[in-house]
């Protein structure tokens, strides 16, 4: 049975005290009767402290926003998967469109990062998605299939069980534009189909696929009622405790 998951990706936002206050506010009002897994993805600076705050909450996890493709060595400024795991991280986000665009990460780079993360007992939130011109040219399915095929389909079944996929239509990130629930469901269903073709139906049905394009309290419920949408990778709305809680309550 796949999990419902809501991930708060803070990106490069919030100072230390703001971060701790936000987490405390969310934890104080988490619904007790929900099975939804909640994941905070703060700056790496705050990851260890936030992991300690969340340690008594079984359904609350922490994630790094990125990791190095290297294990260790002379890579000034990089953060290894081993460091994340030793700081009590549970997940790492890999392949976010901002990393692909601004830091020129390729699918080959992501393979190395994914392998490092899994080798260090981290689960991976793998991002994929198309630009507006690709959707307009009707090449968006081919593009997303290529991203998944080149980055994930080298994995064993055992390793793939530690993958969560986040579909993020790039044209809807931070723009206030959201894919319609029908558009999102169509792509999520397509992703589940190609997973089934590679690993079988049981693995596909147990893979959580999140929506990551301007999900907010106003549209979360409609998105989350779609049969192949298992939660959200939330950006701006995760920086406000009430908004983030409203999204968590949308299941």
Taking the chain (251 residues) in runs of 10, the rounded mean pLDDT of each run is 95 98 97 88 98 96 98 98 98 97 97 98 98 92 98 98 96 78 96 98 98 93 97 97 97 90
Which helix (H) or strand (E) covers residue 128, if one does? strand 123-128
**pLDDT at residue 1, as a whole number:** 82
**pLDDT at residue 166, as a whole number:** 98
Domains held by the chain: number = 1
Q: Identify the active-site residue in 96, 130, 140, 188.
A: 96
Question: Shortest CA distance to 65 belongs to which of 34, 103, 27, 33?
Answer: 103
Q: Identify the active-site residue in 37, 82, 168, 188.
A: 168
**pLDDT at residue 204, as a whole number:** 98
Other C-beta atoms closer than 10 Å to the C-beta of 202 total 10
**pLDDT at residue 31, as a whole number:** 81
**pLDDT at residue 213, as a whole number:** 85
Range of the domain at 115: 5-248
Query: 156 Cβ partners below 8 Å, 6+ apart?
Result: none
The CATH number of the domain holding residue 32 is 3.20.20.70
**pLDDT at residue 32, as a whole number:** 78
Residue that is written with structure tokens 């999900």 in the block: 215
**pLDDT at residue 168, as a whole number:** 94
Known active-site residue 154: no
What is the per-residue burial (b if ≥16 Cβ within 10 Å, else e) of 63-92? bbbbbbbeeeeeeeeebbbbbbbebbbbbb
Known active-site residue 105: no
Query: 4 Cβ partners below 8 Å, 6+ apart?
Result: 35, 36, 37, 208, 224, 230, 231, 251
Residue that is written with structure tokens 């309550």 in the block: 249
Q: Residue 108 has what DSSP assignment?
A: H
**pLDDT at residue 177, as a whole number:** 74
Query: What pTM does this model have?
Result: 0.97
């Amino acid at each position: 049975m796949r999990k419902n998951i809501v991930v708060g990706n803070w990106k490069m936002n919030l100072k230390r005290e703001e971060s701790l206050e936000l987490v405390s506010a969310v934890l104080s009002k988490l619904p007790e009767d929900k099975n939804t897994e909640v994941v905070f993805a703060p700056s790496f600076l705050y990851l260890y402290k936030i992991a300690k705050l969340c340690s008594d909450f079984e359904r609350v996890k922490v994630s790094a926003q990125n990791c190095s493709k290297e294990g260790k060595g002379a890579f000034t400024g990089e953060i290894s998967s081993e460091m994340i795991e030793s700081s009590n991280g549970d997940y790492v986000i890999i392949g976010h469109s901002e990393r692909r665009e601004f830091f020129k990460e390729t699918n080959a780079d992501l393979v190395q990062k994914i392998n490092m993360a899994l080798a260090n007992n981290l689960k991976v939130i793998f991002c994929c998605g198309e630009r507006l011109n690709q959707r307009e040219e009707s090449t968006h399915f081919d593009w997303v299939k290529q991203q998944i095929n080149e980055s994930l389909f080298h994995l064993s079944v055992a390793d793939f069980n530690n993958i969560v996929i986040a579909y993020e239509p790039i044209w809807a990130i931070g723009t206030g534009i959201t894919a319609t629930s029908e558009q999102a469901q169509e792509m999520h269903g397509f992703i589940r189909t190609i997973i089934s073709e590679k690993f079988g139906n049981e693995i596909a049905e147990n893979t959580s696929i999140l929506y990551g394009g301007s999900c907010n309290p106003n549209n979360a419920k409609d998105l989350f009622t779609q049969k192949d949408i298992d939660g959200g990778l939330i950006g701006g709305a995760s920086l406000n405790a009430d908004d983030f809680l409203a999204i968590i309550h949308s299941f």
